[in-house]
Structure 1
Amino acid sequence: MVSSYDLENPALIYEGPRKGVTQPLAPLILVHDGGGTTFSYHCLEPINRPLYGIQNARLHEGGWWEGGIPQMANHYITLLSKSMPGGGDILLGGWSLGGLLSLEMAHQLATAPSHTRKFRVLGMVFIDSVYPRHLAEERMVALPLPSEPTVKTLEEMEAMKLKEKVDLNMMHARMMVRHWDLPKWEGIAAPPTILLRAKERVESESQVFVDHNREELMLGWEKYNAEHGNFIKEVVEVEGHHFSIFEFDRIPDVTEKIRLAADALDWREF
C-alpha cells in the first residue's frame, strides 16, 4: 500500500546555494524520527546544501509497516528514486529512529544489484540515534510495548489529532525496532558516519528508554561499530537532551553541527 501522502515525500526543505558553486554539494536527506514527522528538520536553518526530509509514508495511518524497518527503508529508497530520478551522491541521516533507518537504507543501496543502483551514500549523520536496547543487552528484554500493532479505521485515524498520531507512530516504531536485525556489512564498507550526541539526560520517567546507553560515548554503538570497520568517525555533542535538541533556542547549535558534519562527509575528510 502506498499512501496518498507520498506525493510530497521526500519534501525539499532547502534548495541549497545556486550561485558561486562550481560543484554541486551532495544533498542531505534526513529521515523522520519515531513520531513519523519531519517538522524538526523544517526548523533548521540553511546548511549550504540541498536538504530533504522524509516523513513516515504511513504517518496518517498509524505508522505501522508489516515488514518493519527493512520495508520502510526500501519504500523510502523508491521515493528517493522518484524524486531524484538521476540518482547520484547523497548523504543520509536522521534524528533517533531516522539514524537507524538511514543505516538500513544505506545497506540496501550498497547491496543492490549494480545495474539498479542509482545512489551512492557518501556518509551518514546520526542525530542522537541510540543503539537498540534489546541488542545492546544481547537478549530480548521485556519492553513495555504491546505484542500486536494498534489497528484503527480510516474514520478513527481522521478523527485523531496530530499529537495522537505521532504517539501511535512512536509506539509502532519502537515495536518495529525491537524486531529489527541490524545489517551486516560483509565485504562492503559502511559509509563513514558522524554521531551527534545530546549532552543531557531526559528527566521524564516515561522517556528514559532513549537513555539506556547514555553513559557510553557512542550511545551503545561501540561493539557494532568495531565489528563493521569503525564506521563512526566522530562523536559531536549537541545541546540539550534527546527530546530537546530541536527546541527553538537550540536550533543554531544543531544546525551548525549538522552542516559541519555534512561538509566533512561530503569533502571525504575520513
Structure 2
Amino acid sequence: MYEYIKNPALIHEGPPRSATSMLSKPRVPLILVHDGGGTSFSYHLLDRINRPLYGIENAKLHDGGWWDGGVPEMAAHYVSLLGKILPEGGDILLGGWSMGGLLSLEMAHQIALAAREAKSRETGESSESSGTSTPKTPIFRVLGMIFIDSIFPLRLAELVGPLPEEPIILSGEHSRTMKLKDKVDLNMTHARMMVRFWQVPRWRWRDEAVPVPPTILMRAKEFVNRNPADDQSFVDYTRDLRLLGWDDYDEEHGHFIRDLWEVNGHHFSIFDHKYLDDVTKKVRKAADKLDPPEF
C-alpha cells in the first residue's frame, strides 16, 4: 500500500501577489481529475494558467485503480481530499480529461448536495438553538467545469469489448515490481469496468432541481484512426455528435454545457508536445470564462 502525501498535487501556483493585488477577488483554483489511466501526468505538462492549478491522481493507482464503490466512491474520496488544499472550503473549478470529466461531474453533484444538506442542518440548528458546536466539514461551491474530450458514457459498455469479470488487486510486492505503464493499463481496464455500472447523476435534492455548474466541453478535432478501414476507437463512437453524446443529458439539465471548443489532435494526443500551447491556452480561457477576473 502506497501513501500519498501530495494528492491533490499543486502543479502551478497562482499569479504573483503584485498581479493579484490588482484584482477585486482572487482567482479560484482549477482542480483537474485524472483520466482512466489514473495519473495526473498530462496536467503537469500544461503551462501556467494565471490561477492555482491542481491535479488529482487515482489514490489507488499503484494498487490497480479499482474501487469497490466505483465512480461515486472515487468522487467522494476526492472531495474529501479538497480539504487538504482548502481547509476552509470555498469556490473551485473542476475538470479533467476523458474520465476526469465524468469524475468532475460526480464530484460536483456530491458537493452540491452536501452544501444543501449543510444549509438545511444550519437552519434546523438555529431554530432549535441546541447550543452545541461540532467541527464543520469544509463546504465547497463549484463555479464551473471543464470537460476535455469526455464522452457521454451510457453506450460505452457496448464498445469497449470484453472486460474481466473480477478486478485485479495488486499486492504490495507485485505493485513494486510492476512498470508504471502496465499499472496505467490496468487502471484503464478497471476504469471502463466502473464506468459501465455508473449511474450518471440526476441533479435533484429532495423535490428540488439542483442546477449543474456551467460547463465548457472541449472536443478533439481528429479521429484516433485516420484510415476508415481501421476499427473505430471506442473514444470516437460519439465523435460525429456535436456534444460527444451529452446532448439529451445536457437538455434535461438546463443546457449546462455553455460552450463547445475544439482542441488539436485526437483523444489520446491532446497533450502531445506540439499541441500543448493550444490546450493550455484553451484551458486558461475556459477557466477565465467560468471565473472571470474582476479588476
Shorter-chain TM-score tier: over 0.9
- Which residues of 2 match residues 46-57 of structure 1 at below 5 A? 46-57=48-59
Alignment match of 2:151 (pick from 130, 134, 138): 130
1:156 is aligned to 2:160: no
2:215 is aligned to 193
Q: Distance in 1 between matches of 2:146 and 2:62?
A: 26
Range 250-259 or range 18-27, more displaced? 18-27
Q: Which runs of 5+ in 1 are unaligned?
A: none
TM-score by length of 1: 0.93
Structure 1 counterpart of 2:74, which letter? M
1:259 is aligned to 284
Q: Distance in 2 between matches of 1:231 and 1:6?
A: 34
Q: Distance in 1 between matches of 2:52 and 2:232?
A: 32
Range 204-213 or range 144-153, more displaced? 204-213
Q: Distance in 1 between matches of 2:34 and 2:190?
A: 14
RMSD: 1.7
Alignment match of 1:13 (pick from 11, 15, 34): 11
> Percent identity of the aligned residues?
60
Structure 2 counterpart of 1:119, which letter? F
Alignment match of 1:246 (pick from 263, 271, 275): 271
TM-score by length of 2: 0.85
| 1:6 shift after superposition | 2.7
1:182 is aligned to 200
Can you list the C-alpha shifts for 1:149-202, whole angstroms capped at 9, x where unaligned? 113322111110000000000000010000000000121100000001000010
The number of equivalent residue pairs is 262
2:28 is aligned to 26
1:111 is aligned to 2:109: no
Q: Distance in 1 between matches of 2:219 and 2:192?
A: 20
3-state SS of paired residue (1:7): coil
Q: Is the Cα contact below 8 Å between 2:88 and 2:138 reproduced in 1?
A: no
Can you list the C-alpha shifts for 1:127-162, whole angstroms capped at 9, x where unaligned? 000111xx248xx63742112111332211111000
3-state SS of paired residue (1:20): helix
Relative to 1, partners in 2 of residues 1:123 and 1:74: Cα closer, same or farther, differing over 3 Å?
Answer: same
